[in-house]
Amino acid sequence: MDIRALGYLRLETTDLDAWRRYALDVLGMVQATGTTDDTLLLRVDDRAYRIAIQAGDSDRLLAAGWEVANAAALTEAAAELEAAGVAVKSADDAELAERRVQGLIHLTDPCGNPLEIYWGQAQDHTPLGTPYGNRFVTGDLGLGHVVLPVPDIETALDFYENLLGFQLRDSMKLPPQAVPTAAEQRDFHWMHFLSPNSRHHSLGLYPGALPPGIVHFMVELETLDDVGRGLDRTKAAGIPIASSLGRHTNDRMVSFYAQAPGGFQVEYGWDGLIVDPATWVAKEITADSFWGHQWNG
C-alpha cells in the first residue's frame, strides 16, 4: 500500500471556544475557509485545511487522515484492505466536499481507531499569514505525527507495518506504570514509531487505552524561536505544560507538550529527524529524551 503521509486530523470537542483560542492564539494556526460556528477548520500550510475540530458531546479523535497519491492508489489500498478482511466504506459526496478531497475510504485499525485514506485534497493558494510569523514544516512529510492508543500492540503493529506499509523506525519499552490501561500486565510494554515517509515518525503506537482515542499530535515548526515563542504563549495563556522543553532521542525533536482541550496533548517541536527509508534500520531506544521533557503529573 502506497500511503504517503499523515494528511489531516479530525477531532470532536466539548469546548470549541477553548480550541479556537488554543489553536489560533497559542499554536499560531490559521482559521480556514469553511469554518462555521460548529466546526473549526485550521490551516498550517497550503492545504485547504489540516485539522478539523467539530463541536460535539465528547472529546475524541474522529479520524486520522492518510494521504495517497491518486485514485489508482486509493483503489489499490481499498482492495488490499478488503483482501485482508478489513471493512472499508467509500465516502459519499457530502463527505468528499466537506473534506475537500476527491476520493476517500473510511476504516478502523484493529483496535478501533478511526482512519480515513484519501487523495486529491484541495489547496488554498492565499498566503497563510500566521499570526506570529511562525511557519510549520509539512510538505512531503505531512501534517506531523499522531500517537494512537492500541491496547493490542502486536496486532496494531502488524496492521500498520505489513498492511498499510509504514516503516518501523524504532521501539521503546515502557514500564507497567506508564501503561495503566494495558490489556494485560507485563514486565514491559513496547511502544512503536513508524512512518510512510522520511519524517522519523508520522505515527506512534501507545500500548494502552485512552478515552479520547488520541495520546497526542505533533506539529513541527521551522525554527527554535517559533517553539520558544509558542512556549511563552502557552504559559501566558495559563495552559498547563504537560512536558517541559526537551530533545527526543528518536526523532531528535526539540519540543514541549501542552494539555490541549479534551484530555490529550499537543507536541510543539522543531528540528525533527529526516531519515532515508532505503537505509534505515529499526532500533530500540532506551530513553525517550536526551535532556528535558519532564512530565508534570
Q: Which residues bind Fe ion (CB under 5 A)?
A: 218, 267
Q: Which helix (H) or strand (E) holds 65?
A: strand 60-68
Smaller CB separation from Fe ion, 62 or 218: 218
Smaller CB separation from Fe ion, 106 or 173: 173
Q: CB of residue 131 vs Fe ion: minimum separation in angstroms?
A: 24
Q: CB of residue 71 vs Fe ion: minimum separation in angstroms?
A: 32
Q: Quick check: helix, strand or coil at residue 36?
A: coil
Of 271, 282, 263, the closest CA to residue 58 belongs to: 263
Q: CB of residue 201 vs Fe ion: minimum separation in angstroms?
A: 8
Smaller CB separation from Fe ion, 20 or 173: 173
Smaller CB separation from Fe ion, 163 or 172: 172
Task: Centre a 10 Å sphere on the Cβ of residue 95 and count the other Cβ atoms it contains.
Answer: 15
Q: CB of residue 62 vs Fe ion: minimum separation in angstroms?
A: 20
All three cell numbers of 82, joined, read: 478488503
Smaller CB separation from Fe ion, 13 or 289: 289
Checking 210-213 for CB contacts under 8 A at 24+ apart, the result is 210/149, 210/181, 210/264, 211/59, 211/60, 211/263, 212/59, 212/60, 212/61, 212/262, 212/263, 212/264, 213/60, 213/61, 213/113, 213/114, 213/148, 213/149
Q: CB of residue 265 vs Fe ion: minimum separation in angstroms?
A: 9
